[in-house]
């Protein structure tokens, strides 16, 4: 019989991993107490590319760290300060930066995962697919030219897996008779317009369509978490990604949670569904990176 999973006390601190001019970018780092080295998970918050910050996923990050994982939850550039691809450049840099500083944070730099929520899921999956992308990797990291942003697994929590498809979906609901859905569609569309320079960018920097185009990309294993009542991230896009990623030779583990919508962990991390989802994430990370 397997023993009870180990529980770690953790230390939490904010560190500056990058600076643009006089503006620092911080990561909230959750470090288990112990000798390590521990696996690392980089966490990218949601907020439709335009909102929230490194504290948004504490309900997931804290228990994941307590299972024996260093978690680094990032701030990155967002509108109005910068549009795509600035955030992807920050994320790519952060993965490399934490690998370079592995000893300082008790990290095993060969056991790295990336976790993304909603729009953060889009950015996480795109980083996982294109860790050596010339545009995303444009920010130089001193004394670390051999380090890339590759990861060993990706944790997708209701990602915007097809930005162009989601934009088209949102625009269709701008005239919905359902006032709540109409307001959501207005917010989604507005944030897309703020973040993305063009429809062509939504098509090109698109995890689902990258896979469908058969681009030569990295294909780390993926866990995909979503609620069945999620109206912000249409199920057909998830189903297409899962099918096409597997068809291309990738591994995807899918877990759907009945009756909950988008952001169900973020909104209520103490709900039974959130507890179950977090347990799935912890088990997956320990299996893939432990």
- Report pLDDT digits (tens) over 53-64: 999 999 999 999
pLDDT given for residue 4 in this prediction: 59
Write down the pTM of the prediction.
0.97
144 pLDDT exceeds 90?
no
* CATH 3.40.190.170 fits domain 10-162+207-289: no
pLDDT given for residue 32 in this prediction: 98
C-alpha separations of 8 from 11, 99, 110 in Å: 10, 22, 21
191 pLDDT exceeds 50?
yes
Closest to 68 (Cα-Cα) out of 114, 11, 6: 6
Question: What is d(CA 108, CA 40) in angstroms, rounded to the nearest whole number?
Answer: 7
Characterize 150-179 residue by residue with b for buried, 16 or more Cβ atoms within 10 angstroms of its Cβ, and e for exposed.
bbbbbbbbbbbbbbbbbbebbeebeeeeee
Question: What is d(CA 48, CA 223) in angstroms, rounded to the nearest whole number?
Answer: 21
Question: What is d(CA 282, CA 276) in angstroms, rounded to the nearest whole number?
Answer: 10
pLDDT given for residue 3 in this prediction: 46
- The model's confidence at residue 176, banded by pLDDT at 50, 70 and 90, is very high
2 pLDDT exceeds 90?
no
C-alpha separations of 67 from 40, 62, 74, 224 in Å: 12, 9, 20, 20
- Report pLDDT digits (tens) over 216-239: 999 999 999 999 999 999 999 999
Across the range 257-271, mean pLDDT stands at 96
pLDDT given for residue 94 in this prediction: 98
Question: What is d(CA 235, CA 104) in angstroms, rounded to the nearest whole number?
Answer: 41
Look up residue 130 and give its DSSP letter.
-
- Report pLDDT digits (tens) over 66-105: 999 999 999 999 999 999 999 999 999 999 999 999 999 9
Q: Return the percentage of the chain with pLDDT > 90, whole number.
A: 96
Q: Are 263 and 48 in contact (CB under 8 A)?
A: no
Q: Are 43 and 58 in contact (CB under 8 A)?
A: no
Report the mean per-residue pLDDT for the chain.
97
């Amino acid at each position: 019989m397997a023993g009870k999973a180990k529980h770690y006390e953790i230390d939490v601190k904010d560190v500056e991993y990058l600076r643009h001019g006089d503006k620092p970018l911080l990561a909230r780092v959750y470090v288990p107490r112990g000798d390590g080295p521990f696996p690392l998970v980089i966490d990218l918050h949601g907020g439709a590319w335009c909102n929230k910050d490194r504290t948004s996923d504490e309900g997931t990050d804290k228990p994941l760290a307590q299972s024996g994982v260093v978690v680094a939850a990032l701030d990155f550039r967002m509108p109005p300060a910068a549009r795509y691809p600035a955030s992807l450049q920050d994320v790519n840099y952060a993965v490399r930066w934490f690998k370079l500083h592995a000893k300082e944070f008790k990290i095993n730099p060969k056991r790295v995962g990336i976790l993304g929520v909603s729009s953060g899921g889009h950015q996480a999956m795109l980083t996982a697919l294109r860790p050596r992308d010339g545009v995303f990797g444009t920010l130089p990291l001193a004394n670390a030219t051999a380090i890339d942003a590759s990861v060993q697994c990706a944790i997708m929590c209701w990602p915007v897996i097809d930005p162009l498809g989601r934009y088209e979906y949102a625009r269709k609901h701008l005239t919905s008779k359902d006032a709540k859905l109409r307001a959501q569609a207005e917010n989604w569309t507005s944030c897309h317009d703020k973040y993305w320079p063009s429809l062509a960018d939504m098509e090109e920097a698109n995890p689902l369509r990258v896979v469908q185009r058969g681009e030569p990309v990295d294909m780390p294993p993926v866990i995909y978490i979503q609620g069945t009542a999620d109206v912000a991230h249409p199920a057909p896009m998830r189903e297409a990604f899962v099918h096409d990623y597997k068809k291309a030779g990738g591994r995807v583990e899918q877990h759907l949670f009945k009756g909950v919508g988008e952001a169900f962990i973020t909104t209520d991390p103490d709900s039974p569904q959130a507890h179950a989802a977090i347990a799935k994430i912890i088990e997956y990370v320990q299996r893939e990176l432990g």
